[in-house]
Amino acid sequence: MQTTEKLFYKEPFMREFKATVVDVSKNMLVLDKTLFFPQGGYQEYDNGVLAKGDALARVTTVSDENGVVYHQVDSPELFAVGDEVEGRIDWDRRWYLSTLHSAQHVISRIVFNLYKVYTTRSDFSVNGGMVSFSVNFSNDWLEPVEGELMKIAEKALPVERLFDGANISIKIADIDTSPCGGTHVTTTADLGSLYLLGTDKGKLLFDGGGPGTKRLKKYGREHFRVRKMYNFPDDVLKTVEDNINTLNEMDTALEKYKREAFANALKDETLVRQVKGIKVSVIKNNELDTKIFKKLIKMKDTVYTSDLYLISIDKKVIAYAATDAVSAIDVCAGLINESLGVTGGGNRKKVDMILERGNFQAIVDGVISKIEGSV
């Protein structure tokens, strides 16, 4: 089969194109030319759409086999050999991946110049960028490397594609020239939004561009919300900030604080009320979530001051029996399908009995009434 003309190399800013279908095999289309970048060079493929008239098909994956580009689509039955089609790539995705790829070239050169360490692998996906080196990347290198990256971004140096027959190289001014078949930006000015996240198992993680900036803003909002909710002192926050190198580590730290706050509520004796010898705690906090709760009850060191907990969480009500003194199923099952209009279920004696709907206070009153009548 004739190789596919790859428009993405010579027309880096083109977003739409016209082509002819030359082969249809199962859910794969082959075109005479394409803008869709295939998986390669550790860079993820492009997404987008192919249209024939008013009919549209989503391009979900793109691959290259011996120079032939295959487009996997969700509606292959729309196309036949000889059809004229119009394609449109997901430009935001393409530009983000191009930004990460160009940044990696610059980062790799900086690390080599500063520390004489070689790059052994890199990956670029919608989740960010990663670079592996011949030795573990040190956290002490983060600030020097990012500082040099920002200096190069400020210079707005040209990023060029050099063609030598079938061979392609990327030249970034006098900084670096490397063989590369990926997509790239056209100037280092586009790298100004990049930031180094930190290390994971010796690998450098970085992000930036539109998606990376959104992730950073989301992290900032979460950080502020948790600080406001739990009134963390500044010295605690500073300690957390000083020791977090990646967003994943921050997520872990935030989850720990949420879990500790939840654990404190479970052992808060001021919430305990005695009902016919049964200790019942009522917890209402819309900021808690079921994932934290499920992890907490699996931990052996969790302290309980009540036999039964009634918790309003994630727009649900959880009844959890922490001891054998009472069964969550027994005290809650009678509420199911009654006038409270709740639904739910449980499968063990010590169970989180989840009631999907219903007024929280009415459920609390119903459970306490049930205990008073059965004990």
111, 61: one domain: no
Number of domain units in the chain: 3
Average pLDDT estimate for 97-108: 95
Tell me which DSSP letter residue 232 carries: -
- Provide the residue range defining the domain that includes 195: 94-214
64, 113: one domain: no
Dump pLDDT digits (tens) for 215-233.
Answer: 777 776 666 666 666 665 6
101, 131: one domain: yes
Alpha-carbon gap, residue 220 to 5, rounded angstroms:
44
Average pLDDT estimate for 186-199: 89
119, 145: one domain: yes
Q: What are phi and psi of 225, to 5 degrees?
A: -65, -45
Average pLDDT estimate for 126-137: 92
61, 118: one domain: no
Q: Above 80 in pLDDT, residue 289?
A: no
| 193 found inside a domain | yes
Confidence (pLDDT) at 237: 56
DSSP letter string, 193-215? T-EEEEEETTEEEEE-HHHHHHH
pTM of the model: 0.60
At which of 33, 63, 89 does a domain end? Answer: 89
Confidence of residue 80 (pLDDT cuts 50, 70, 90): very high
Bridge partners of residue 256, in order along the sequence: none
| Residue 294 vs residue 51, higher pLDDT | 51
127, 62: one domain: no
283, 331: one domain: yes
362, 271: one domain: yes
| Residue 217 vs residue 134, higher pLDDT | 134
Mean pLDDT of the chain, nearest integer: 81
| 258 found inside a domain | no
